[in-house]
Amino acid sequence: MPDVGEGLTEAEILKWYVQPGDTVSDGQIVCEVETAKAAVELPIPFDGTVHELRFPEGTTVDVGEVIITVDLGGGAPAAPAAPAAAETAPAAPAAAPAPQAAEETEETAPEGRQPVLVGYGVAASSTKRRPRKQTTPAPAAPAQAPAAAQAAVQGELNGHAPVAARPLAKPPVRKLAKDLGVDLTTVTPTGPDGIITREDVRAAAAPAPAAVPQQAPAPVQAPEPSPAPAAPVPAEAGARETRIPVKGVRKATAAAMVGSAFTAPHVTEFVTVDVTRTMKLVEELKADKDMAGLRVNPLLLVARALLVAIRRNPEVNASWDEAAQEIVLKHYVNLGIAAATPRGLIVPNIKDAHAKTLPELATALGELVSTAREGKTTPAAMQGGTVTITNVGVFGVDTGTPILNPGESAILAVGAIKLQPWVHKGKVKPRHVTTLALSFDHRLVDGELGSKVLADVAAILERPKRLITWA
């Protein structure tokens, strides 16, 4: 399981695309996993035959665990498909003798290729992975070299001398030790082959046990079926309750929302507006040849209206730096769009949305929505947002009090657009009406500024020609 960085220590295997006996080639996608950020596909960095799938679908696996082994042929031992990217050693020179290649540990990727998750780069590192016990050796695997010899091989491959004194521990255990302030060199290992376990770290931190439940990564869960997308969990006959494990994107979202709700002081304001002219403009744009093939809908014009409102009130586009006790004004807008997916709520954002033309914004919105529905949104697409739009109207909801995406200053909820009786030019007529709700961080945005932003968005949607005159 690759080390995807950003503090993530585990991932759930959603689907295997190969089975034991299948032939695989370098770069072929072999499985899909879900981290706390997104679902991503893992490529195989080898040519060979699948020897074993170590975990079934639905299993949550720690970073650093071997999830698949591949027979490279010629009696070579099985090798993992995705070792930790930050700790993978470069390949030995082409002239290296065959016995050295056969004695490489499960953590060493051949040919110098370092597999990573989609959307991540390769982190260069001189860290060397220690040999681990091979639980399922290939039938023709040669005898394992002594630990000292293997350490020397790893040191040669990395271009560094072996560091024999470095304690053996998996990335999640190292993170736990760091969080608890435990020096791993002082911990007595009880795991196989001298590997330090979570229990060893907890025992070493016995004077402060209260910190363990808050900082320890979640343990590997027992194998279970992956839930079917967009389908309710079936209840067993006669069951009065059904328990659903909280993990992956939904688990991360829950933690983020709790942190946001109890960190940023929320204020929400509402305005109901006649958007009949905006709806007419949407129809005109759909027929415009310059917008042919693009996704044109009310959300597109709401997004443009919010961007214009931010341009008129730039102080709203900011973040709060708690450590420095500073307000950070952003001179760019990464516009988040909240998207409901089978795996939970995600908020990818359009980078530099403020600099895009209307056709470019329509293209970016279309790609963002399609990618989210397919579950292919990358973690990078969900980072760095400044403000967000959530369209609750698609569910027939009139309005709501949205919670801020962590680190952002404001979020705009757009309610359902409905025909309602409305006073227009002194007469009651059926008009397209919607309710907008703007939640904002009151540390950054006071009532006056928040009201101006919301009023500007409403004014543009009421008379969309202001998109031109105010721009």
pLDDT band for position 191 (cuts 50, 70, 90): confident
Identical topology for domains 10-166 and 251-469: no
Contact 172, 9 (CB under 8 A): yes
Q: Across the chain, which distance is largest between two alpha carbons, in Å?
A: 92
Q: Per-residue pLDDT averaged across 44-56, rounded?
A: 90
Residue 450 has a pLDDT of: 95
Q: How confident is the model at residue 312 (pLDDT cuts 50, 70, 90)?
A: very high
Of the listed ranges 76-80, 297-301, 451-455, the least confidently predicted one is: 76-80
Residue 391: both structure tokens together = 């369209």
What are the tens digits of pLDDT across the range 390-413? 999 999 999 999 989 888 999 999
176, pLDDT greater than 90: no
* Whole-prediction pTM: 0.55
Residue 317, pLDDT > 80, answer yes
Q: Which residues are the active-site residues?
A: 442
Token pair 């030790």 is found at 177
- pLDDT, residue 237, reads 73
DSSP secondary-structure letter at 444? T
Q: Cα 322 vs. chain centroid, distance in angstroms?
A: 24
**Which pLDDT does position 138 carry in this prediction?**
44
Residue type, 157: L
Q: Please report, as a single letter, which amino acid is at residue 126.
A: S
The arithmetic mean of pLDDT across residues 348-353, rounded, is 95
CATH topology of domain 10-166: OB fold (Dihydrolipoamide Acetyltransferase, E2P) (2.40.50)
Does the structure show a pLDDT above 80 at 181? Answer: no
Residue 153 banded pLDDT, cuts 50, 70, 90? very low
Mean pLDDT of 48-64: 89
The DSSP line for 16-81 is ES--TT-EE-TT-EEEEEE-SS-EEEEE----EEEEEE-S-TT-EEETT---EEEE-STTPPPEES
| pLDDT-wise least confident of 38-42, 215-219, 422-426 | 215-219
The domains of the chain are located at 10-166, 251-469
CATH superfamily of 251-469: Chloramphenicol acetyltransferase-like domain (3.30.559.10)
Predicted pLDDT of residue 363:
95
Query: Is pLDDT above 60 for 236?
Result: yes
Mean pLDDT, range 25-37, rounded to an integer: 82
Consecutive H or E run containing 152 = helix 147-158
Count other Cβ atoms within 10 Å, centred on residue 27.
12
Q: Is the pLDDT at 379 greater than 90, yes or no?
A: no
